[in-house]
Amino acid sequence: MGTSKATITLDGEQIELEVNQDSILQTLIDEGYDPPFSCTSGVCTTCMAKLTKGKVEMEVNYGLDEDEVEKGFILTCQSHPTTDEVELTYDI
């Protein structure tokens, strides 16, 4: 996958950015935002967000159970968009 447009709600602010090969979390950090995170290895769930549009692939997922994933929750430290556009919110 090439570049995806991401619309992200973080602390009430709507952010639009392009996500390339990096994770959603790393892209936010690189762009100067301060998203919640801790371990960055898919365990702690601090970076959890809810995907509301599009699809992502998580490299690993040690922190979310199947029910949470089915409801659209993702670990942004491990998530890479697989569709042209994704929308997600940290404000859950």
Q: Token pair of 63, please?
A: 């922190």
At residue 1 the predicted structure's pLDDT band, cuts being 50, 70 and 90, is: low
What pLDDT score does 9 carry? 98
Question: What average pLDDT does range 72-92 have in this prediction?
Answer: 97
Burial of 29 (0-12, 13-18, 19+ CB in 10 A): middle
The per-residue pLDDT for range 14-55, each reduced to its tens digit, is 999 999 999 999 999 999 999 999 999 999 999 999 999 999
pTM, 2 dp: 0.95
Q: How many domains does the chain have?
A: 1
Residue 41 and residue 32: Cα distance in Å, rounded? 21
Percentage of the chain lying above the pLDDT 90 cut: 96
Task: Provide the domain limits for residue 31.
Answer: 4-89
Residue 29 and residue 83: Cα distance in Å, rounded? 21
Write the CATH number for 57.
3.10.20.30
What pLDDT score does 22 carry? 94
The answer to whether the CB of 42 falls within 8 A of the CB of 59 is yes
